[in-house]
Amino acid sequence: MAAALLNDPAVRSGLRGRGFAVPDDTHFLPGVHLTATDEVTLLDTDRIPRTHHPDLAHLREWLGEAAPRARAERASALGLPSGPRRKPADLLGALRRRGSDWSEVRPEWGLARNAAFIAARRDRTRGVDLGGRAFLHEYDWTCDPDNAVLGLILSAPVVVASWINLQYFASTVDNAAFGCGTKALHNRVEDLGVVLGNGGDLRTGLPLQSVHAPDGRWYHEPLRLQVIVEAPTERLDAALSAHAGVKDLVGNGWIRLYALDPAGPAVARWQPDGWVA
Q: What is the pLDDT of residue 204?
A: 86
Residues in CB range of 120: below 8 A, 6 or more apart: 138, 139, 228, 229, 230, 260
Quick one: 141 and 254 in the same domain? yes
Residue 15 lies in a domain: no
* Residue 84: predicted pLDDT: 75
Strand blocks (E) in the chain: 31-34, 39-42, 116-120, 134-138, 186-189, 193-196, 199-203, 225-230, 255-260, 267-271, 274-276
Question: Do 62 and 137 sit in the same domain of this protein?
Answer: no
CA–CA separation, 191 and 55 (whole Å): 41
Whether 257 maps to a domain, the answer reads yes
Query: Is 262 found in the same domain as 128?
Result: yes
Cα–Cα distance, 38 to 56 (Å, whole number): 19
Give the end of a domain, one of 40, 69, 100. Answer: 100
CA distances from 42 to 3, 28, 51 (A): 12, 11, 17
Q: Tell which residue, 62, 63, 60, 70, has the closest CA to residue 92.
A: 70
Per-residue pLDDT at 202: 93
Predicted structure pTM score: 0.89
- Note the pLDDT tens digit of each residue in 128-183: 999 999 999 999 999 999 999 999 999 999 999 999 999 999 999 999 999 999 99
What residues have CB less than 8 Å from 5, skipping those under 6 apart? 11
145 plus 233 within the same structural domain: yes
Residue 87, sorted as left (phi over 0), alpha (psi -120 to 50) or beta, turns out to be beta
User: Are 76 and 184 within 8 A, CB to CB?
Assistant: no
- Residue 74 shares a structural domain with residue 200: no
Same domain, 187 and 269: yes
Q: Does some domain include residue 109?
A: no
Q: Is residue 18 part of a domain?
A: no
In total, how many domains does the chain have?
Answer: 2
Closest CA to 257 of 153, 138, 142, 104: 153
Name the domain boundary from 53, 69, 100.
Answer: 100
On whether both 142 and 271 belong to a single domain, the answer is: yes
**Amino acid identity of 26?**
T
The pair phi, psi for residue 94, each rounded to 5°, is: -65, -40
The pLDDT assigned to 81 comes to 83
Domain that holds residue 66: 2-10+28-100
Confirm whether 82 is domain-assigned: yes
Print burial letters for 16-53: b (CB count within 10 Å at least 16), e (below 16): eeeeeeeeeeebebeeeeeebbbbbeeeeeeeeeeeee
Does one domain contain both 156 and 250? yes
- Assess if residue 105 is contained within a domain: no
Residue numbers of the chain with a pLDDT score lower than 70: none
- Determine, yes or no, domain membership for 17: no
- Of 100, 131, 151, the one marking the end of a domain is 100
Whether residues 42 and 170 share a domain: the answer is no
If asked whether residues 194 and 266 sit together in one domain, one would say yes
